[in-house]
Amino acid sequence: MATVQISLQVNGKAVVAAVEPRALLIHFLREELSLTGPHIGCDTSHCGACTVDLNGKSVKSCTMFAVQADGAKVITIEGIAAPDGTLHALQEGFRQMHGLQCGYCTPGMITRAYRLLQENPKPTEAEIRAGIAGNLCRCTGYQNIVKAIQYAAAKIAGVPFQEAAE
């Protein structure tokens, strides 16, 4: 099948590639770029396991063609930590607050929360719950995910976060 050339920036690196027009962004990221952090959970954009950050918005990469990302700036879970490997406050928070179990939703969940905290640096619990409503988790029951995001918000703001994981 004919291919189309696209240029984009992924996790700070310039990428030029030839893709089938029908190739989904998630398959391009996972199979061509070996960025296997974002996952496929439902194929219908309900579960959010495939969430990546695209031009400053959370998008579900299973419901977008790779060609639509031409010229875009994409961040995946692999690009969330600092270049020196220091974990992002969210990555730390998810571990400290036991915000994950099987880990399958985690990359999408953290990537979504990464954008949420830029949209709203001091979210209330209700705002966090609404803000991650597009990301499903089957293991945790969300309570500790909410705490993980609160932990990160506090850390980014430089204020103490006292609550322990339940």
The C-alpha atoms of residue 63 and residue 26 are separated, in whole angstroms, by 8
Residues 4-43 that bind other proteins (CB under 8 A): 20, 22-23, 27, 30-31, 34-43
Cβ(8)–Cβ(76) below 8 Å: no
Please identify, using beta-carbon distances, which residue of 27 and 72 lies nearer to other proteins.
Answer: 27
Considering the complex, what minimum distance in angstroms separates the CB of residue 56 from other proteins?
20
Task: Phi first, then psi: give them for residue 4, nearest 5 degrees.
Answer: -120, 140
The C-alpha atoms of residue 129 and residue 97 are separated, in whole angstroms, by 16
- Span of 65-73, 99-107, 115-123, 153-161 interacting with other proteins by CB under 8 A: 99-107
Integer angstrom CA distances of residue 162 from 24, 42, 116, 148, 157: 42, 36, 21, 12, 14
Kindly state the number of chain residues that form the binding site for other proteins, as judged by CB under 8 A.
Answer: 64
Indicate whether 116 belongs to the interface with other proteins (CB under 8 A). Answer: no
Please give, one letter per residue, the 3-state secondary structure of 13-41.
EEEEEEECCCCEHHHHHHHHCCCCCCCCC
- Which of 59, 74, 77, 117 touches other proteins (CB under 8 A)? 77
Indicate whether 59 belongs to the interface with other proteins (CB under 8 A). Answer: no
Binding residues (CB under 8 A) for other proteins: these are 1, 20, 22-23, 27, 30-31, 34-44, 46-47, 49, 76-78, 80-81, 87, 90-92, 94-96, 98, 100-107, 110, 128-130, 132-146, 164-166
